[in-house]
Amino acid sequence: MSQTNNEPAIESFLPLTPAEFEILLALVDGDLHGYAIMQEVTGRTLGNMKLLPGTLYRALTRMVDKSLIRHVGQPDNVESDDERRRYYQLTALGDRVLKAEAERLSNQVRAAKAKKLIAKPNRA
């Protein structure tokens, strides 16, 4: 394996598990805490993907270890509720991995389209 810097090759992170992908996607728009990540994912996938706490926090722990995300304090613009929460933030590495994964997935989708497996989306 040849590597020029001390950061591991992006490809070594791929493919992401569905949970990892959804979490990274949820963090693109800003820092969120665990429950908010779950809500974002549930809302965006219209309830098709439910992140239960066991899966969510195992994935979060693993992704912090891999430096795809990092812990941050509560952002200032958030109305302080009475509970202290840890927020998660996308790292630069996480951002690159997410893009690479999205690219990989879209290639697969393109291949599927070429084989006429997906109907063209209706444009209003």
Partner 1 sequence: MPVMKVRFPIYEQIFWLLMRIYPSAFRKANATDMIQFFNDSMRREYTARGYLGIARLFLSMLPDLLMNAFTVRLDRIISLRKLGPSYAADYRLMYRKIRTTGEIMDTLWQDIKYAFRTMAKNPGFTAIAVLTLALGIGANTAIFSVVNSALLRPLPFHDPDRLMMIWGDNPKKDWPQLPVSLPTFFDLREQSKSFASMGGWTQTSFTMTGGTEPEDVLSGIVTSDFFTTMGIQPAMGRLFVSSEDNRGGGPNIIISDSLWQRRFGSDPNVVGKALTLDGRDYYVVGVLPASFKFITYPKDAEIWIPLGLDPFTDRRYARGVSGCGIVARLKPGVTVQQAQAELATISRQLDKAYPGDYANWTARITPLHEQVVKNLKTALLVLFGAVGFVLLIACANVANLMLTRARSRQREIAIRVAMGANRLRLIQQMLTESIVLAGIGAAVGLLFARWGISLIGHIPYNAPNIFTPYNVTAKPAAIDPKVLVFTLAITLLTGLLFGLVPAIDCSKPDLNETLKEGSVKSGSWRHNRARTILVIAEIALSMILLIGAGLMVKSFLRLQEVDPGFVAENAVTLDINLSSLKYRQEERTAAFYTQLLQNVSQLSGVKSVGIVDSLPLSGSDSTTGAFIEGLSAPGPSEKNEVHYRTASADYFSAMGIRMLRGRAFDANEQKPVTVINESMARRYWPNEDAIGKRVALTTESLRFYPDRAPDIDPTLGMREVVGIVTDVKHTSLDSNHVPEMFVPFSQRPQRDATLAVRTSSDVGDLGAIANLVRREVWNIDKDAPVSNVNTMSALLSKSVSKPRFNFLLLGLFAGLALLLASIGIYGVMSYTITQRTHEIGVRIALGAKDSDVLTLVMGQGLRITVIGVAIGLLGSFAATRLLSNLLFGITATDPATFIVTSVVLAVIALLACYLPARRALRVDPIAALKYE
List of residues contacting partner 1 (CB under 8 A): 33-35, 38, 52-58, 60-61, 82-86
Of 53 and 73, the one with the shorter C-beta distance to partner 1 is 53
CB atoms closer than 10 angstroms to residue 119: 7
Of 7 and 103, the one with the shorter C-beta distance to partner 1 is 7
SS3 content of the chain, % helix, strand, coil (to 5): 50, 10, 45
Closest of 10, 34, 33 to residue 98, by C-alpha = 10
Which helix (H) or strand (E) covers residue 69, if one does?
A: strand 69-72
Of 25 and 32, the one with the shorter C-beta distance to partner 1 is 32
The CB-of-106 to partner 1 minimum distance in angstroms stands at 30
The CB-of-46 to partner 1 minimum distance in angstroms stands at 17
